[in-house]
A and B are shown apart, each in its own frame.
Chain A
Amino acid sequence: MRRWLIWVPLAAFAVLFVVVASGLMRPSDTTVHSTLVDKPLPEFRLDPMVPGKPGLASGDFGKGRPRLLNVFASWCIPCIAEAPQLMALKARGVEIDAIAIHDKGPAIADFLRRNGDPYAAIGDDARSRVQMALGSSGVPETFLIDARGRIVRQYIGDIRADQVDRIVRDVAAAR
């Protein structure tokens, strides 16, 4: 009776094998991507972080020019590695603002003195509120906000030298 049934366990095993094998072959991606990409920048308003430099609010974006929003901290080592690339982006005319996570004014001032200051404004996000509102899960991360105030891209981790050209193109495309 129904002799084909004898093959069912083997077929089930084969399916399971393919699923597990394909899972093992694919490199695991543990980065958490923000699901706010292609959505408007959420509203926020943050106090200034260092004297002489304004704080940051969502209203500063979407004024007809694309801007980068860099999420960083003075205690974050990859942020130091990323600093030269941000300076290079600024030199090529990209406008960059930042929010500083879990940080203090003097520490940020010191960080900027040592690693350069590519920022037009820095907001104080001591409790990660705005970071969470952006769907960002760590430092450094950089969001590209287009001319209309929409988040169009998220760069997770420190920006490497070989990414600079592409980011300049992305910024030009976000006009």
Chain B
Amino acid sequence: MSLFLAFALAAGAAQPDYGNTQLLDPRAEAQARALMGEIRCVVCQGQSIADSDADMAADMRALVRQRIARGEKPEAIRHWLIERYGDYVSYDPPLSGATALLWATPILLLAIGGWIARSSFRGRR
């Protein structure tokens, strides 16, 4: 155990374990955290990488934090992941043929509601 701790500390001296360690700059950490909440863990598929205890999720958090620390924009990191795992990896689905209905439905329902309300108000008069 102590040997393990010694190794962990030695590794920590080179670079902190960003999977489970916050960035020092609170602004960067806030950016990283916002993105981690919107990236799906690819092994524990119902969870975001911020919520998951899986090793792979820790590695994905480390990737996000390291890239944010290097000054990369969160959207660029999201794009990098989508390039590899598909839209599936992001909890913020982009507008495309498959998701058009998802985005259009609220507007469609609002329009139908407005139309029903208009006709029923007109009926009352």
Contacts and interface: CB of A to CB of B under 8 A. Distances in A.
Nearest to A138: B43
A134 B59 contact: no
Contacts of B86: 32-33, 35
Interface string A51-94: 00000000000000000000000000000000000000000000
A137 B56 contact: yes
B56 to A, nearest CB: 6
**What does DSSP make chain B's interface, helix, strand, loop or mixed?**
helix
Interface of B: 42-43, 45, 55-56, 59-60, 62-63, 81-86, 88-89
Contacts of B82: 35
Interface residues of A, number: 17
A129 interface: yes
Interface in A90-145: 102, 127-129, 131-135, 137-138
A22 interface: no
A56 B98 CA distance: 38
Contacts of B81: 132
A35 B45 contact: no
B84 A133 contact: yes
Interface of A is mostly: loop
The 6 closest A-B pairs by CB, nearest first: A135-B84, A137-B42, A128-B59, A35-B86, A32-B42, A135-B85
A127 B62 contact: yes
A35 B79 CA distance: 12
B84 A127 contact: no
24 contacts: A32-B42, A32-B45, A32-B85, A32-B89, A33-B86, A34-B84, A34-B85, A35-B82, A35-B83, A35-B85, A35-B86, A102-B55, A128-B56, A128-B59, A128-B60, A129-B59, A129-B63, A131-B59, A132-B63, A135-B83, A137-B43, A137-B85, A138-B43, A138-B56
